[in-house]
Amino acid sequence: MAVNKVVTDPTLKLALDTSRQTREQALTLLDLVSSQPPTAETRSREFQIQISKQQKLLLTYLAQLRGYHRDAHISARATKALTAEARQEVDRLHLQLQNIYYEERHLQGEIDACESYEYVC
């Protein structure tokens, strides 16, 4: 199953697209560098400029990915805090409900005791 079909959040889709572009850019840069001999004397000035441009583009994509990661991390923290608050509210309500059930059982026991009391004249 393709990731693009599973992920529906627009922010995550943007991060996935940027990740794909980053990967493609890294592969392009690797292909470019491997197409020339590794010695510095044989590389022309134009070739070095082309490599530099490709590196800058790759670093730009990486910076975008870091930003998306930071935003996702902050969003996850906020969601976690909201979930914790909601859980505390549910726990509080559950405790109140348990107290009401306890009180109901206690009062039902008192009512049963009163109804079973034999009054002798």
Total count of domains within the chain: 1
Residue 116, classed as helix, strand or coil, is coil
Q: What is the pLDDT of residue 25?
A: 95
User: Comparing C-alpha atoms, which of 46, 49, 53, 45 is closest to residue 28?
Assistant: 53
Q: What is the DSSP string of 38-51?
A: S-TTTS-HHHHHHH
Residue 1 forms part of a structural domain:
no
Give the tokens for residue 75.
């969003």
Total-model pTM: 0.67
Q: What is the pLDDT of residue 11?
A: 86
pLDDT, tens digit, 9 for 90 and up, residues 68-111 = 999 999 999 999 999 999 999 999 999 999 999 999 999 999 99
Q: What is the pLDDT of residue 35?
A: 83
Map tokens 């009062």 to a residue.
Answer: 107
Domain range spanning residue 102? 8-115
Distance CA 103, CA 92 (A): 17
Give the tokens for residue 108.
């039902």
Residue 87 forms part of a structural domain:
yes
- To the nearest whole number, what is the mean pLDDT of the chain? 90
